Structure 1
């Protein structure tokens, strides 16, 4: 299969690198000039759980892409998704699968504006990665990927199961789910509880969640999240979800979240409106009290202004 990853950030580099090492045909696409030029010239420098190597991998600017692909994975920031999908649709053939793995909630409605629903694959991942600098990615920890075709059809399911198999050949720990929206919301809860807080506190996951006050904040965020999820016909047990959030985050306690990296390190705007902000919006629409999610959203937008994020 021919894979294209639009957005060669930390996660895009991880997935692209692991697929390429498994023998797949992979193309990275990005707009960050320093990153693209460094990889074009010297290859992608990878630190994979302490093992370092430099690998050649095709990377292009969007305007350089002329091929169609069998699988396209947009891994841009949520705010840029709509513009990226306008380009992506031109690189699709009739059977191209376009996979949504973005952090946050509500992306499927944007995908459906540009990609035929039968070509959309919904998914989520808890893999982490970190860009140390242009052309240099740090890969650590463990994760998984969960996928499901957006249109429930046995033939379409077979094509997604083929992608799952390829991902597993690349050690990406993939699985097919008959209820991927539950998994997407579950992952979103992890991000709602960890990303913004670590960006506000300018710390890693352990420094935040090994403190009792940190755990108390997570408890309140989770309780609000569960109430809002129920309005979307997605059910969680609050205590079970809280335990999952703490377990998932403390497994990688030394990790600095993507929102921390975006805002604190790189002064970039964040995806807060697709995480805590989305929960706050749905809560208000459904007359549910969401003070913690609402307050964190407001603080994040304030910090974006203070740091002059772009």
Structure 2
């Protein structure tokens, strides 16, 4: 099988490299971040570590969207929500009617954008409970032992076709541990709920997942956010994969056992002064509930707190101080 990864960031590199190395797939990478393309080309591939150890160079083929002319069977899409529309628009010239799109992006809002280029019959959406860190251009760290992490995947139509088992076979060979589900929105929203707790709270307090789950208040905070997320989904007629208690148990396991030393992706963006995806996670939950008469107020509160934290990092304190002093001198 031939795959093209749209978005050669942390997760895109992990999926593509593992498919290339373990499933024997042909994999190309397309990215809009020019330093990533230039660095990987200059060094002959991407440096891959596992939990910060055994750093080695893996050869990859990487292109900008304008350069790419390949014809894969499927695209694996791992963009940030804010950059997806640009990626799809710049890549549209090489999309073909028979191709598929597979995505396990964080947050919500991406499926509608992907459907502008790929019909529902050719879209598989899912969630990845896998931790990966992009240290910088051309340098990625796979967190966890080989085979660590799982993913849920579901055709948008909720009806597998002849290509579905082929994709699952490759993802299994790549040690990504796919689980085929039959509930598309419930699959996606289960991960959004998980991220609305762990990603957002770890970012707010700049702590690792293990630090968060060790806090005495972790259970109360988590269950409050889970309750609101599930109530918003129920108001919208969405049945999640797990029960509320199972969602809490997943948060405990991933945070305490699977990835206790990991900083979530939202924190990684925040720490590097990049916009976070909070509007597509907590914000989406609030907006979904509000549309159907339910107010997930804690999610809205956290969304605004994250934006306040983002603003505080860009605020020009020196200029503000000078302005205050100038006003006082008048």
Would you say same fold, with TM above 0.5? yes
Number of residues paired by the alignment?
306
CA contact (8 A) 1:228 1:283 kept: yes
Say whether residues 1:256 and 2:263 are aligned partners.
yes
1:300 alignment counterpart: 306
CA contact (8 A) 2:100 2:118 kept: no
Distance 2:176 2:158 in 1: 24
Secondary structure (helix, strand or coil) at the match of 1:212 reads coil
Q: How does 1:194-273 map to 2 (within 5 A)?
A: 194-236=198-240, 237-250=243-256, 251-264=258-271, 266-273=272-279
1:143 alignment counterpart: 149
Distance 2:119 2:305 in 1: 37
Say whether residues 1:68 and 2:71 are aligned partners.
yes
What is the TM-score of this pair, normalised by structure 2? 0.87
Secondary structure (helix, strand or coil) at the match of 1:59 reads strand
CA contact (8 A) 1:199 1:263 kept: yes
Q: CA deviation at 1:165?
A: 0.3
Runs of 4 or more above 4 Å deviation: none
Q: Flag structure 2 segments of 5+ consecutive residues without an equivalent.
A: 316-330
Rg larger in structure: 2
What is the TM-score of this pair, normalised by structure 1? 0.93
Q: CA deviation at 1:176?
A: 1.9
CA RMSD of aligned residues (A): 1.8
Q: CA deviation at 1:152?
A: 4.4
1:83 alignment counterpart: 86
Deviations 1:115-141 (A, max 9, x none): 222221122211110012221111122
1:47 alignment counterpart: 49
Distance 1:14 1:167 in 2: 12
Distance 2:245 2:153 in 1: 25
Q: CA deviation at 1:298?
A: 0.4
Q: CA deviation at 1:199?
A: 1.2
CA contact (8 A) 2:82 2:277 kept: yes
2:326 alignment counterpart: none
CA contact (8 A) 2:254 2:260 kept: no
Q: CA deviation at 1:29?
A: 1.2
1:188 alignment counterpart: 192
